[in-house]
Amino acid sequence: MPKNLYSHLKTKHMMAEEEEAFEPSRLDRLTKQKIGNIPGILDWIPDAEKQRSRYPVGIAATVLLILGFSALLWLRSRPGVLTATRPIEAMLHWQLGTNAIDSLALEEMKQDTPYRVDAIQIARMGNEFFIRERQEGRAALKDSLIYHIYLKGSENIQVFFEDSTRVQLGQRSALSFVVYPIGIVQKERQLNCDGEILVDVSPDYQIPTKIKTRRQQIAVLGTFFKLRDYQTEDTSAVLCYRGKVAVSDSASKTTILHAAQRATVLPGRNIKVSSNDFPIAHWSSKELLFDFSNQDLDDAMREIARWYGMPRVQFEGSVDRKTRGMVFTGPLSRYLSLQKLLSILEREDLHFSIRGKTILVEGTGGRLDHNH
């Protein structure tokens, strides 16, 4: 791994020996809400004790050099939707101060169980891993914290972030992302990768996403695309399936790719754009969906609150909560951010907002209708 690739990301993270002011019974209750009521399927605990390994910093540096460099939406509403076809072999690494690097073997994670990993929380469902930032963990940070995911085996894994970004890692691929302390203004979101990844990310003009490899940088403009850039290969490529991306090479030459276009980056040469040699892209597991077509507003909001781990829904004004089929017709992705989902459900007589850990549903009128 080139030493200067992450020089702008290297930080000193002083591990805080903090223990959140969480009541285990409350955390357990909120966690169960995310999965819904499935009798006999899951035996939930507040947080699994992860099997972590710590290495001296010298060994850790060697390990990361060998490995290369490497998102709520939570959990399923019914059992048996997704399973890995082959054993997963993947590791999560992150720096703990200046003395050690911590790690978590993703294949050893229990299904549908949230793990607290310093500044993030991660849960597994088959070959899918859901990541969200922990405010308590971020509050303990003195500096930015870099997480690295490295896939060793042949079974693809998918990583989901809170902003609905979905990344699929291919064999021997790696992904890195940064978590910032509370109070740091994030001007852009940067992911770093090695190998082959499939990416679906929505445009965010306030905090744009950029993906960087050794040979290129991709500015995401609302896109579904594949990126291939292995250290062992001479060339790299970006394949745009939907939307568009801006591809820049190491010489800062930039090319805009549109749907059904491919960019090939050759050493010492200009970026080559073509429309042939375009393999079909597919996710290794099925997409999970909401379907509120036959639900009333009460049932729909209950399901939404469980999925996103929101403990409270509050209704204000005159709200029709019992008529079925009035919420939304057709499937909606469970990988949308909560804010995005609520904006889709919005209509003239119904307004949704998020206040802390409460989803507020406002209808016409101003009286308080229900609170639970």
163 within 8 A of 335, measured Cβ to Cβ: no
Question: Nearest CA to 261 among 225, 228, 314?
Answer: 225
pLDDT top residue among 17 and 252: 252
Residues 289-371, CATH architecture: 3-Layer(bab) Sandwich (3.55)
- Supply 125's token pair: 């469902």
CA pair distance 235, 21, nearest whole angstrom: 50
If you average pLDDT over residues 239-266, what whole number do you get? Answer: 89
If you average pLDDT over residues 297-315, what whole number do you get? Answer: 89
Q: What is the pLDDT of residue 21?
A: 38
Which of 37-41, 279-283, 368-372 is predicted least confidently? 37-41
Q: Is 301 helix (H, G, I), strand (E, B) or coil?
A: helix
Share the mean pLDDT of the chain: 76
CATH no. for 24-274: 2.60.120.1440
CA pair distance 133, 160, nearest whole angstrom: 12
CA pair distance 292, 332, nearest whole angstrom: 9
Query: What is the H or E stretch that residue 32 is in?
Result: helix 24-35
pLDDT at residue 328 tops 90: yes
Bridge partners, residue 313, by sequence: 359
Q: What is the pLDDT of residue 297?
A: 96
| Phi/psi-derived region of residue 325, left when phi > 0, alpha when psi is between -120 and 50, beta in every other case | left
pLDDT band at residue 223 under the 50/70/90 scheme: confident
Q: What is the pLDDT of residue 372?
A: 38
If you average pLDDT over residues 143-158, what whole number do you get? Answer: 92
- φ/ψ of residue 67, rounded to 5: -75, -25
Q: What is the pLDDT of residues 167-194, one digit of tens each?
A: 999 999 999 999 999 988 888 889 999 9
Look at the block and give the residue holding tokens 């994030």: 186
CA-based max dimension of the chain: 68
How many Cα atoms sit within 13 Å of 309 on the Cβ side? 17
Q: What is the pLDDT of residues 37-62, one digit of tens each?
A: 433 323 222 333 333 444 443 433 33
Question: Fold identical between 24-274 and 289-371?
Answer: no
Q: What is the pLDDT of residue 365?
A: 55
Bridge partners, residue 158, by sequence: 128, 168
pTM strictly above 0.85: no
Helices (H) and strands (E) counted in the chain, each on its own, are: 5, 22
Domain ranges of the chain: 24-274, 289-371
Query: What is the H or E stretch that residue 157 is in?
Result: strand 157-160
Alpha-carbon torsion angle 305, 109, 71, 114, nearest 10: 30
Q: How far is CA 133 from the centre of its chain?
A: 10
132 within 8 A of 118, measured Cβ to Cβ: no
